[in-house]
Amino acid sequence: LPVAGQDGSLENRFINSPLKGKVFGKTGYVSGVRSLSGYMEGISGKPLIFSVVTNNYTEKTGYIDTIHEQILENIYVKY
């Protein structure tokens, strides 16, 4: 799987984030649906599996990507 901030579909994601190099995932897009699924370790070291999906959005896809990153950062610091 691509690694956040390093390669593949996540190469340009999580650049200025504590999750850079810590999220292993796959992005998806089809007909107004954007997703990011994969795994990471929480701040405690606990393994976490996630899937974030947004559909019927009216904002630009880049904005949705930012929201997905913020969701994962919030999960990271809580677990």
Quick one: three-class SS letters along the chain?
A: CCECCCCHHHCCCCCCCCCCCCCEEEEEEECCEEEEEEEEECCCCCEEEEEEEEECCCCCHHHHHHHHHHHHHHHHHHC
Q: Give me the residue spans of the domains in the chain.
A: 28-78
Q: Which pLDDT score, from 0 to 100, does residue 68 have?
A: 98
When pLDDT is averaged across residues 42-58 and rounded to a whole number, the result is 97
Q: Which pLDDT score, from 0 to 100, does residue 4 have?
A: 98
In terms of Cα–Cα distance, which of 19, 17, 18, 21 is closest to 3?
A: 21
Q: What is the chain's length?
A: 79
Q: Which pLDDT score, from 0 to 100, does residue 20 have?
A: 98
